[in-house]
Amino acid sequence: MSAVEKMGKALVTGASSGIGATYADRLAQRGHDLVLVARDEKRLAGLAAKLSAQYGVAVDVLKADLTQREDVRVVEKRLREDGAIELLVNNAGIGPKGPLLADDIDYLEAMIELNVVAVNRLAIAAAQVFAARGKGAIINIASVVALVPERFNGTYNASKAFVLNLTQSINAEVSGKGVKVQAMLPGLTRTEIFDRAGGSIDHLDPSMVMDVTDLVDAALAGFDQGELITIPSLPDAADWDTFVKARLVLAPNLSHDRPAGRYGVERKAAAI
C-alpha cells in the first residue's frame, strides 16, 4: 500500500505513548488520517504535528480522560458522528501496581473504568456504526495475561480477559456485516506502562520483552492477514486454534436441565 494513498480515518485511544503512539505512526504511514485520544494534550499535539509533516495525513487531537464517563461519551460521539472514521484502535489502558493483596482498590476500580468500561462503550459504539455502514474495523488491545491469569495480577488479567471475550462476541455478531475485528494480545512490551504503575521493565527477563515497533508491525501484519486473535509472540498459530477447539469441547455440556451426576443432586431434586 502506498504511503500517500488515502485510507479511512482511524481513532486511536492511548495514542500519546507506547503501543498507541506506535499504531498512530504506522497507520499514518499507511495513509490513514487520525484522531488521537489521551489525556496529555501537549504530547498528542507534538505527535500530531510530527505525523502530519512526515506522512501528509490530517491528525486531530481529542483530549479525554477515559476513566471519566463524560469524556468517554465525547469520544463515543466522535466515533458515531464522524463518518470518515473507519478504524478504532481501542488501546488506552493501565497496568497493576502489584499483587491484589497489596493493591489499592480505588486504583483497581479506575483500571476497570479505563480497561473495561471505556473499551466496552467505544467498541460497541464502533460496532454499531460500522455495521450500519457495512464497513469498518475494530482493534482491541487485550493482553496474553487474559490466558494465564495465575501468573499475573488479578484485576488487570480479568480486564484483559473481558477485552478478549468481548472481541470474540462482537466478531460473532458482526459476521457478514463488513466489519473486521481483531483482539491483539501483547506479551511484555517495552513501553511506559510499568513505570507509570511504579515499577520498571528493567526488572523483567529481557528475553520476554518485545520492542514496541516489532509488536505493532506484527500486530498489523496479523490484522492484514485477517486474524481475529493476534498474539505476536506465539510462534505457531495452530496452538491458538487447538486451545479454542479444546474450549469448545465443553460447549455441548455447559447447559443441561440437571446437575452432573458427581454432585449427587439429581435424586434429591426428583424427590421434592
Ligand X SMILES: NC(=O)c1ccc[n+]([C@@H]2O[C@H](COP(=O)([O-])OP(=O)(O)OC[C@H]3O[C@@H](n4cnc5c(N)ncnc54)[C@H](OP(=O)(O)O)[C@@H]3O)[C@@H](O)[C@H]2O)c1
Rounded CA separation 128/167 (Å): 14
Residue 11: which of 38, 43, 42, 34 has the closest Cα? 34
Per CB under 6 A, 63 contacts ligand X: no
Answer for which of 34, 47, 55, 67 binds ligand X (CB under 6 A) is 67
Nearer to ligand X, 41 or 135 (CB): 41
Contact status: 143 vs ligand X (CB under 6 A): yes
CA proximity to 116, closest of 60, 186, 68, 163: 163
Catalytic residue among 23, 55, 107, 156: 156
Nearer to ligand X by C-beta: 14 or 136? 14
* Neighbouring C-beta atoms of residue 166, cutoff 10 Å: 22
Using the rule CB under 6 A, which residue among 59, 94, 111, 216 binds ligand X?
94
Question: Which of 65, 89, 122, 71 has the alpha carbon at shortest distance from 9?
Answer: 89
Site size with ligand X, rule: CB under 6 A: 30
Which of 19, 48, 85, 127 is close enough to bind ligand X by CB under 6 A?
A: 19
Known catalytic residue: 156? yes
Contact 46, 240 (CB under 8 A): no
Q: What grid cell was written down for 227?
A: 486474524
The answer to whether the CB of 24 falls within 8 A of the CB of 34 is yes
Q: Does 14 bind ligand X (CB under 6 A)?
A: yes
- Residues in region 191-220 near ligand X by CB under 6 A: 191-193, 196
Q: Which residues are catalytic?
A: 156
Summarize as ranges the residues that interact with ligand X (CB under 6 A).
14-20, 38-40, 43, 64-67, 91-95, 114, 141, 143, 186, 188-189, 191-193, 196
